[in-house]
Structure 1
Amino acid sequence: MARTRDQDACPGALTLHQAADGALLRVRLPGGVLSSTQLAVLAQAAAEFGSGSLELTSRGSLQVRGLDGAPATTAAVAGLIADAGLLPSATHERVRNIVASPLSGRAGGLADVRPWVAELDAAIQADPALTGLTGRFWFSIDDGRGDVSGLRADVGVHVLESGDDVAVLLAGTDTGIRVSATEAVSTMITVASRFAEIREKRWRVAELDDHTVLLEEFSATAPAGARFETTTRGPVGWIPQNDGRVALGAAVPLGILPARTAEFLAAIEAPLVITPWRTVLVCDLSEDIADVSLRVLAPIGLVFDENSPWLDVSACTGSPGCDRSATDVRADAEAFARAAATEGGTGGVHHRFVGCERACGSPLRGEVLIATADGYRPLSRSGPHP
């Protein structure tokens, strides 16, 4: 892909993107982790300054849109975010893109990778060279269950059966390089720094003709080339944790979380994880609190049924939020999901409705439907999606 710019236009908490419906702000959440207090602050920002809703992204971040873009508003929202501990580095805030197995350390998996997320985030912020990455470059840490490795982050590690070693991935492909778990973070930083050094106008590792240029100081000790299956659904429902407590997994229809619903989630006062599948985990609950929470949250729109068609339907912003969109794709996606609920479901296939050829945020697997003047047509999968 030929780029004309060396930087993308991905929004951050300080660098806003001007959309058709106002300015858009994105808050990176390494590993998708945030506290109930932090969610309450973001809900406040959305209610007071934005559209009244938060948006969950495919990289486990949260967005506020509909801001007026005035410097005073930007400063006020940035102040709220910083005071909540969500803006630890003004220079690196757009490049703290880390996804990790959301249930790691709580249920399943071969290792608890939560400390790695914190270590990687700190290492990113400590490296001045990594400000040269784009806002679309991202890292993945898979605890061995195979949920995030298939999302094809730029650089990632995947815990192996022993739990003591990891496979190094580039653009979702196993490089054949194996390092110890203690070297996982430093290896990812080395590869990312090398990419920042040589990328020129490339935004993503997949745009390199030869990935081995990033791996010159490493030696492969296993076969290379394997890829993990892409997961399109996050964990939902009642999830028993290893420690006897409970996590609740909730799908957020179309990834749009009303501020009022976010306030209810925050009121539970439990750790939260935003997943790359636009779901939210409410963690470390007693069974009594989990039961009460489910009874409150389900009637206000969160989805806990793993058979719900909402888990297989998503959409880009569409009209009127995006001036490139041919139609209001969210309305069409909602109509599709409601019809599927009464007509036998989605067949287990993810359906993504998008308003133009860019197909922003589309999953790597499933059916992507592009709006046209005559309805929708399927996206060709002939090449890698940007």
Structure 2
Amino acid sequence: MERTRGDLCPGVFRPWPADDGALVRLRIPGGHVSRTTLLSLVDVAEQHGDGRVHLTKRANLQVRALPLVDGAVPAEVVEAIRATGLLPHPDHELVRNILVSPLTGLHGGRADLRPVTAELDERICATPSLAKLPGRFLLVLDDGRGDLVDRSCDLGLVALDAETVQLRIGSTHWGPVVPLHEAAARLTGLARAFQQVRDTAWHVDELPVPPASHDANPHLPAASTPPSYGDVAEGITHLEVPDGVLDRGFLDGLAEHLVVTPWKSLLQVVE
């Protein structure tokens, strides 16, 4: 597919001019966030926006109805958002799109993907050229439980066991089987390769020449459904978030450790 413009995926420095004001999106690779941080973002929303924090299907956070001046969010609002700690890499804010099995390392799954998620985010943000990736470019990491194995992506991986993964290249092509400890470096390299050849494409699936594909490993998991709401395991509860919208009342009384999920819900982890 040939694109005639750049993507318009919103961020703090590239807000979307919605009918109710500016909309900004904040990426949190892996979804882990503290209740304190979310309440800080609610403070920003109450002072400058619609008073709520909106969850997305990519396990990101959005704030709506912010002031918009000459196509930008005012500096005082940007500084208020920065103070929450949710803008650690301003140059790469649009491209930290790393969706991960929410329960990884907490309960079930074949591998703990939290270390590889942190390394992948670090590598992406340390690579200046990757700041120019499309804001819609998505990496999807499934820890072998199958909750994200059928999710469309640009790059990703699926755990085969605790030490090996099969890479994903586009939504329908499989890459090689590699050790888990190499996965972040391999995915970063593939992202750089895409950036070098993409021209106007936003996604790997849009490249005119499909990527080389490996056979799907026979140990890949079948797709699974999200966990039911309620207790998932000892100390872990899956919380329904009505309409995917958080406010101060909802967050009051929750545990400090929360995980935003791609189902517009939260995991509460009591440690």
TM over 0.5: yes
Alignment match, 2:29: 30
Q: State whether structure 2 residue 268 is matched by structure 1 residue 282.
A: yes
In 2, distance between residues paired with 1:52 and 1:79?
17
Q: Tell me, yes or no, if structure 1 residue 114 matches structure 2 residue 114.
A: yes
- With over 3 angstroms needed to count, the CA separation of the structure-2 counterparts of 1:68 and 1:149, relative to structure 1, is same
Letter in 1 for 2:238: G
Deviation at 1:228, TM superposition (A): 7.1
Question: How far 1:172 sits from its partner (Å)?
Answer: 2.9
Partner residue of 2:243? 254
Partner of 2:82: 82
Which of 172-181 and 58-67 deviates more? 172-181
1:248, 1:235 → 2: CA distance?
9
- Evaluate the alpha carbon distance shift between residue 105 and residue 235 of structure 1 in structure 2; reply closer, same or farther with a 3 A threshold: farther
Matched, 1:103 2:103: yes
**1-structure distance, mates of 2:103, 2:80:** 28
* 8 Å contact from structure 1 (residues 23, 65) kept in 2: yes
Inter-CA distance 138–226: structure 2 relative to 1 (3 Å threshold): farther
The alpha-carbon distance between structure 1 residues 204 and 234, as it changes in their structure 2 partners (threshold 3 A), is: farther
Contact 2:240–2:265 (CA under 8 A) maintained in structure 1 = yes
For residues 41 and 201 of structure 1, do their structure 2 counterparts lie closer, same or farther at Cα, with a shift above 3 Å needed?
Answer: same
SS in structure 2 opposite 1:150? coil
Match of 2:184 in 1: 185
Query: How big is each residue's C-alpha offset from its partner over 1:271-302, in whole Å with a ceiling of 9 and x where there is no partner?
Result: 111111111111135xxxxxxxxxxxxxxxxx
Residue aligned with 1:23, SS: strand
**Alignment check: 8 A CA contact 2:52 2:245 kept:** yes
Tell me the SS of whatever aligns to 2:195.
Answer: helix
Matches of 1:169 and 1:45 in 2, distance apart? Answer: 37
> Within 5 A, what are the aligned runs for 1:86-235?
86-160=86-160, 162-212=161-211, 220=214, 222-223=215-216, 233=226, 235=228
Task: Find the residue that maps to 1:30 and give its secondary structure.
Answer: coil
CA contact (8 A) 2:102 2:261 kept: yes
**Counterpart contact for 1:174–1:227, Cα < 8 Å:** no
Change in CA separation of 1:231 and 1:23 when aligned onto 2, cut-off 3 Å: farther
- Paired residues of 1:140 and 1:156 also in contact (CA < 8 A): yes
Alignment of 1:236-385 (within 5 A): 236-240=229-233, 245-257=234-246, 259-264=247-252, 267-285=253-271
Aligned residues: 270
Q: Distance in 2 between matches of 1:89 and 1:56?
A: 20
Q: Is the 8 A contact 1:23 1:67 kept in 2?
A: yes
Aligned to 1:333: none
Q: Which residue of 2 aligns with 1:372?
A: none
Q: Which has the higher contact order (CA 8 A, sep 6+)?
A: 2
Q: Does 1:50 align with 2:49?
A: yes
CA positional deviation for 1:229: 6.1
Deviation at 1:75, TM superposition (A): 2.1
Structure 1 segments unaligned to the other structure (5+ residues): 286-386
The 8 Å contact of residues 39 and 248 in structure 2, kept in 1 or not, is answered as: no
> Based on CA coordinates, which of the two structures has the bigger radius of gyration?
1
> Unaligned stretches of 5+ in structure 2?
none
Decide whether the 8 Å contact of 1:43 with 1:262 is kept in 2: no
How far apart, in 1, do the equivalents of 2:74 and 2:101 lie? Answer: 32
Structure 2: distance between partners of 1:74 and 1:261? 27
Question: If the length of structure 1 is used for normalisation, what is the TM-score?
Answer: 0.65
Percent identity over the alignment? 39
* Residues 74-114 of structure 1: CA deviation (Å, up to 9, x unaligned): 32232223222211111100000001110111110011111
1:167-198 deviation digits (Å, cap 9, x = unpaired) = 11122334151111111101110111111111
